[in-house]
Amino acid sequence: TVVEKLVNDLLGVCQILSADDFMPRLQPAVGVGSFLGGWNASGEDLVCRLLVPLKPPPGHSFHLELGT
C-alpha cells in the first residue's frame, strides 16, 4: 500500500502538470495480482505490479482497431 500511495501521489502531480495538454489522463494506480506472488526464491527481489489506467483527453475517445 505504501508503493501504491507513492505512485498515486506521483500520478496526481503529473495530472496537475498536464492539465492543459492533449495527453491521455492518468488515473489512480490499481494493484494487480498478489504482492506475495512476486517473491523470488532467494527472497531478495520483490515485485509489485500496478496498473495505471488511461482516460482520453477532453473531446477525444479511445477505440480498438481490429486486425492490427
Which has the higher per-residue pLDDT, 41 or 10?
10
Q: What residues contact residue 2 under an 8 Å CB cut-off, 6+ apart? A: none
Three-state SS at 42: coil
Residues paired with 54 in a beta bridge: 26
Q: Quick one: pLDDT at residue 15?
A: 78
Confidence (pTM)? 0.57
Percent of the chain at pLDDT above 90? 0
User: What was the pLDDT predicted at 41?
Assistant: 52
25-50 pLDDT, tens digit each = 888 888 876 555 544 455 555 667 88
Single-letter amino acid code for the residue at 2: V
